């Protein structure tokens, strides 16, 4: 089975023909191959932005690459080219659509040249040994191909079953493979493909629309941190949502794994830890603070609190602190994520995990503080600040700034515009479920798949009328996947359903193509509510709908009027 980058396709399966191809590549190729998928990028420069995409890149064990362009639309044979025919758009009231054609060979060549150019820019002297393949699973090519198209590099519907053997033949080991120079370049090639483009996923729900629209702008936190020389290596990163903190954490953990070092990642939210476990190197210890506390207590032979009882996690935290003096020099690299959610008294115990010469990275965003923790002091640490959001669409970043949800305006770093935010008003609690369901229906009508929409409550789990156990079984006709407590080991339990519903507090650290933020009810915008809104809006990869009370609607509109 081939290794996938990103590796969380099974965690959040997304439908569509490219997903089926990815599964074929994963299952058909052996573990000597790496498959990079969803390779989308944008690079901003003084003369404008450069965009590119490659559906799949397959790498053999010596670093040879095969770029695969998949086309699932109609293919037209032109005199000297292959053209992809698209339906086009129609004017309002006019059902007719004017088709338009795009040159397939031009697109392939442009993307390969852009890939080579970007590699040369970032890694002078590193040459990519890359071939290409055109995959047309729904098209049958009749007649001679244009002279610019090599027949052995085209797989149409007739040769569909031979896709994997053809890939293996194109990447077959040659006599010149395996040289010392090629083996030395292999880590740089993998680092370039993993880090330079959008192949490292944002933690959370992935979907077709978000995957196609999302771009990762080069020159983020990983680049800056890579240029720092620290002694001791103690770095505090204060980055806004979407600034690349997850990418940075993965890079630091991968570097430690490459050196054969002991590495540990600690965060606050269990869903974030579960997602990081799927994409971090297998050698890395990934845990939440409370999970670490539980393991520490078990190793010391202490009795654990009952997790279904109130205050169990506070008791567990106190137990960890009483035992933390036994910890010391366990890891060479320690990454603490969601630092703004950690209580100050926890941090000294966590830092005991790292030795004096260890690299320690503390990631946080004060704008996402939801638990009213006291600020944490890290005296003598180097601090790096980034206000640039590379993930959220520009329209949502503008919305955040109009509402003045952050102390310092967020800088938009994404290359996409996204959808305008909108909201619905529920006149009373009795109509809350209907209005929320209608928001879901509106998003589905816009093209969002129901399993790519997250319905989030602005309230806590105990006070929510929709998320709690007494909430509705369906919204907009879809069964709900909701949290139903924890098991005896402290693992979250979920009901079966298509449409995810959760609280904003629990969903922090994740994202969805579209978000319905419901049960938004307040009369004025205080500090806590603006932070909660900021967290909610930055969970949406493409669009968001707010379902508010009449009072919250008035407060939001007044806030927008102040910012205009």
Collect contacts of 3-6 with beta carbons under 8 A, ≥24 apart: 3/31, 3/33, 3/34, 3/35, 4/34, 4/35, 4/37, 5/34, 5/35, 5/36, 5/37, 5/193, 5/194, 5/199, 5/200, 6/37, 6/38, 6/199, 6/200, 6/201, 6/279
pLDDT of residue 477: 93
Give how far the C-alpha of residue 164 lies from the chain's centroid of Cα atoms, to the nearest Å.
28
Per-residue pLDDT for 215 more than 80? no
Tell me the C-alpha distance between 361 and 228, whole Å: 13
pLDDT of residue 479: 93
Q: What are phi and psi of 458, to 5 degrees?
A: -75, -15
Q: Which residue has the higher pLDDT, 325 or 343?
A: 343
pLDDT of residue 94: 44
Copy the structure tokens of residue 84.
């992809």
Helices (H), 262-324: 270-279, 289-299, 312-323
Q: Per mean pLDDT, which range of 138-142, 396-400, 402-406 is the poorest?
A: 138-142
Tell me the C-alpha distance between 236 and 248, whole Å: 12
Task: Please report which confidence band the pLDDT of residue 198 belongs to, taking 50, 70 and 90 as the band edges.
Answer: very low
Q: Which residue has the higher pLDDT, 14 or 469?
A: 469
Task: Please report which confidence band the pLDDT of residue 38 belongs to, taking 50, 70 and 90 as the band edges.
Answer: low
pLDDT of residue 346: 94
Tell me the C-alpha distance between 160 and 279, whole Å: 30
* Domain boundaries along the sequence of the chain: 3-192, 221-388, 394-563
Residue closest to 142 by CA, chosen among 133, 154, 134: 154
pLDDT of residue 270: 83
Tell me the C-alpha distance between 167 and 189, whole Å: 19
Tell me the C-alpha distance between 511 and 288, whole Å: 19
CB 299 within 8 A of CB 228: no
pLDDT in tens, 290-300: 999 999 999 88
DSSP line for 80-108: S-EEEEE-----TT------EEEEHHHHH
pLDDT in tens, 123-182: 888 888 888 999 988 888 877 777 767 888 889 888 999 999 999 999 998 887 777 777
Q: Is 46 helix (H, G, I), strand (E, B) or coil?
A: coil
Other CB atoms within a 10 A radius of the CB of residue 178 amount to 11
Task: Please report which confidence band the pLDDT of residue 95 belongs to, taking 50, 70 and 90 as the band edges.
Answer: very low
| Helices and strands, number each (H, E), in the chain | 16, 27
Q: Is 71 helix (H, G, I), strand (E, B) or coil?
A: coil
Q: What are phi and psi of 8, to 5 degrees?
A: -105, 30
Taking residues 241-249, what's their average pLDDT?
A: 84
Per-residue pLDDT for 48 more than 80? no
CB 135 within 8 A of CB 21: yes
CATH: 3.40.50.720, 3.40.50.2300, 3.40.50.300, 2.60.15.10. Which one for 221-388? Answer: 3.40.50.300
221-388 and 394-563, same CATH topology: yes
CB 94 within 8 A of CB 218: no
Other CB atoms within a 10 A radius of the CB of residue 188 amount to 15
Q: CA 414, 416, 421: angle at the middle one, nearest 5?
A: 100
CATH: 3.40.50.300, 2.60.40.10, 3.50.50.60, 3.30.110.30. Which one for 394-563? Answer: 3.40.50.300
Tell me the C-alpha distance between 380 and 333, whole Å: 18
Give how far the C-alpha of residue 186 lies from the chain's centroid of Cα atoms, to the nearest Å.
25
Copy the structure tokens of residue 1.
């089975």
pLDDT of residue 100: 65
Mean per-residue pLDDT of the chain: 82
pLDDT of residue 96: 46
Tell me the C-alpha distance between 499 and 87, whole Å: 30
Per-residue pLDDT for 420 more than 70? yes
Tell me the C-alpha distance between 511 and 242, whole Å: 10
Q: Is 543 helix (H, G, I), strand (E, B) or coil?
A: strand
Q: Is 213 helix (H, G, I), strand (E, B) or coil?
A: helix
Query: Which residues lie across from 364 on neighbouring strands?
Result: 238
CB 456 within 8 A of CB 503: yes
pLDDT of residue 492: 66
If DSSP states are collapsed to H, E and C, what string results for 151-181?
HHHEECHHHHHHHHHHHHHHCCCCCCCCCHH
pLDDT in tens, 487-516: 666 566 788 899 999 999 888 877 888 999
pLDDT of residue 491: 62
- Is beta strand 48-59 parallel, antiparallel or unpaired with respect to 65-70? antiparallel
Per-residue pLDDT for 319 more than 80? yes
CB 286 within 8 A of CB 335: no
Taking residues 239-254, what's their average pLDDT?
A: 86
Is 0.85 surpassed by the pTM of this model? no
Q: At what angle do helices 394-402 and 527-537 cross, to 10 degrees?
A: 170
Tell me the C-alpha distance between 367 and 386, whole Å: 12
Q: Which residue has the higher pLDDT, 36 or 214?
A: 36
Taking residues 32-38, what's their average pLDDT?
A: 83
Q: Which residue has the higher pLDDT, 335 or 4?
A: 335
Tell me the C-alpha distance between 320 and 309, whole Å: 18
**DSSP code for 409:** P
């Amino acid at each position: 089975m081939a290794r996938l980058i990103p590796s969380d396709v099974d965690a959040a399966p997304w439908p569509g023909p490219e997903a089926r191809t990815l599964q074929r590549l994963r299952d058909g190729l052996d573990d000597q191959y790496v498959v990079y998928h969803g390779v989308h990028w944008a690079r901003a420069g003084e003369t404008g932005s450069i965009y590119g995409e490659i559906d799949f890149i397959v790498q053999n064990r010596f670093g040879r690459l095969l770029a695969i362009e998949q086309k699932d639309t109609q293919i037209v044979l032109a005199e000297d080219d292959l053209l992809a025919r698209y339906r086009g758009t129609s004017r309002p009231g006019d059902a007719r659509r004017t088709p338009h054609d795009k040159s397939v060979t031009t697109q392939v060549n442009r993307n390969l040249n852009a890939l080579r150019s970007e590699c040369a820019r970032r890694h002078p002297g590193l040459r990519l040994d890359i071939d290409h393949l055109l995959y047309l699973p729904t098209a049958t090519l009749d007649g001679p191909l244009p002279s610019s198209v090599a027949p052995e590099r085209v797989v149409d519907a007739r040769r569909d079953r031979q896709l994997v053997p053809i890939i293996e033949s194109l990447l077959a080991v040659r006599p010149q493979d395996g040289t010392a120079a090629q083996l030395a370049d292999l880590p740089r090639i993998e680092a370039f493909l993993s880090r330079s483009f959008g192949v490292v996923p944002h933690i959370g729900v992935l979907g077709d629309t978000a995957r196609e629209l999302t771009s990762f702008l080069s020159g983020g936190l990983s680049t800056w941190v890579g240029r720092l020389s620290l002694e001791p290596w103690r770095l505090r990163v204060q980055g806004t949502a979407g600034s690349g903190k997850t990418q940075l954490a993965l890079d630091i953990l991968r570097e430690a794994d490459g050196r054969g070092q002991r590495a540990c990642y600690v965060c606050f939210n269990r869903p974030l830890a579960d997602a990081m476990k799927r994409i971090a190197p297998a050698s890395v210890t990934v845990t939440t603070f409370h999970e670490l506390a539980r393991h520490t207590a078990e190793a010391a032979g202490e009795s654990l609190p009952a997790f279904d009882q109130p205050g169990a996690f506070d008791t567990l935290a106190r137990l960890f602190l009483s035992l933390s003096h036994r910890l010391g020099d366990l890891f060479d690299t320690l990454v603490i994520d969601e630092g703004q959610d950690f209580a100050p008294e926890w941090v000294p115990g966590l830092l005991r995990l790292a030795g004096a010469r260890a690299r320690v990275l503390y990631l946080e965003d004060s704008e996402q503080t939801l638990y009213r923790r006291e600020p944490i002091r890290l005296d003598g640490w180097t601090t790096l600040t980034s206000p640039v959001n590379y993930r959220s669409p520009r329209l949502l970043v503008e919305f955040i700034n109009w509402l003045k949800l952050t102390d310092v305006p967020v800088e938009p770093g994404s290359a996409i515009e996204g959808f305008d935010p909108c909201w619905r008003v529920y006149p009373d609690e009795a109509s809350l479920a209907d209005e929320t369901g209608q928001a879901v229906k509106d998003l589905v009508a816009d093209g969002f798949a129901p399993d790519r929409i997250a319905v989030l409550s602005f309230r806590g789990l105990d006070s929510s009328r929709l998320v709690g156990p007494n909430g509705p079984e369906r919204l907009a006709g879809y069964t709900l996947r909701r949290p139903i407590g924890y098991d005896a080991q402290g693992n979250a339990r979920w009901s079966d359903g298509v449409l995810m519903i959760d609280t904003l507090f629990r969903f922090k650290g994740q994202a969805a193509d579209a978000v319905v933020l419901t049960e938004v009810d307040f009369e004025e915008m205080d500090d806590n509510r603006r932070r909660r809104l900021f967290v909610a809006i930055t969970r949406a990869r493409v669009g968001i709908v707010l379902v508010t009370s009449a009072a919250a609607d008035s407060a939001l509109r007044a806030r927008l009027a102040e910012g205009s």
